[in-house]
Amino acid sequence: MKQPQTKSAASEEDATVTVSGVEIACRISLPAGPALARLLLLPGSLYSDVDGNYPSMNMRPHAYADLARQMASRGFAVVRMAKIGPGTGSRTIDAEAAAAHGDFRMRVAVAEAGLDLLLRSADQGPVIVAGHSEGAKVANLLAQGSTSGRIDGVVSLSGAAEHLLDLLRHQVSGMAPPGVPAELGIFDRTVAAIRTGAALPPEASTNSFSAMLASMPEAAHRYLRSVDAIDPLAEIARVPQPVLIVHGGRDESVPFAHAERLRAARGSLPTGTAFFPSLTHFYKQAADGLLPMQIMALETESDPAVADAIVAWVAGLSG
């Protein structure tokens, strides 16, 4: 890759891709000049729009818009994608076909459509797939599949090293009052039932740690099962392309130790790291003393140091 061009205004345009009965909103960011590289940005869990906002939760961190625009101003062509779900801009056009999206691996098919859109939008420069949080799993799977030969590198943005329901256990344990040990016995039995498809324990719906899982319909449990079946450590170890692992030290959703485990799983495979001790899950600077949900809800600009790190890493891929 050539050296990054001087930062300049980029253009944006909306687009859609249709996969198995669902039209999914996308946004294309193009640099002012010829693209130095091309980047597909895949979203994490929950219902996010193309900018990385969560309308159904009234949370607007806009991390994906920030990163895409920062990358475009540095010469990258970027496609970012919404998730399927309420308020995200997605639209079901064939309900029967759309049922296929109840399995996590359909996210890889959606990512393939996003990759095709990226390649149609810009025709030069190395191709990078970056997945944020749960999207890192998607990026790793995409890089191993039939499109592997079209991908030059993978960026894991705040990716987890644990199975989903193990990660959720860590997250719900933080709900316990300070100084009070979290009693997770009922939660653990609930998770075990979801993993096997068995009936949930009767007390799951009244336990503060498991009530959220118990309130979900069976279709949601099937989806969780399909996500939980993915082993992030095994999958990142199978990625044939160079990988960059990006993580913030103040990530309350996916603690920093996950990044170290992902790096260890890569062994001697080509792997870079970009660690930012003061940044959150959405790459914000957060004041001391904020609660986890306050940190998640920050609406300040995501730190451009992440974009700079990706640009520098991609430049190094071509020597």
Q: Is 277 exposed, middle or buried (0-12, 13-18, 19+ CB in 10 A)?
A: exposed
Name all domains of the chain by residue range, CATH numbers in brackets. Answer: 11-162+231-317 (3.40.50.1820), 166-223 (no CATH)
Confidence (pLDDT) at 128: 99
* pLDDT value of position 178: 75
At residue 257, the pLDDT reads 98
Buried b or exposed e, range 238-269, using 16+ CB within 10 angstroms: ebebbbbbbbbebbbbbbbebbeebbebbeee
Average pLDDT, the chain: 95
Residue 268 Cα to chain centre, angstroms: 25
What pLDDT score does 292 carry? 85
Q: For the chain, where are the E strands, in sequence order?
A: 11-19, 22-30, 37-42, 76-81, 91-92, 127-132, 153-157, 243-248, 271-276
The pLDDT value given to residue 181: 77
Dihedrals phi, psi of 25, to nearest 5 degrees: -75, 140
Q: What pLDDT was estimated at residue 9? A: 66
* 120: nearest Cα among 6, 35, 63: 35
Q: Which residues of the chain have pLDDT under 50?
A: none
Residue 318, pLDDT score:
79
φ and ψ at residue 285, rounded to 5 degrees: -85, 125
**What pLDDT, in 10s, does the model give residues 207-259?**
999 999 999 999 999 999 999 999 999 999 999 999 999 999 999 999 999 99
Here the tokens at position 229 are 């079946």
DSSP tag of 214: H
**Structure confidence at residue 102 (pLDDT):** 97
CA distance 2 to 64: 24
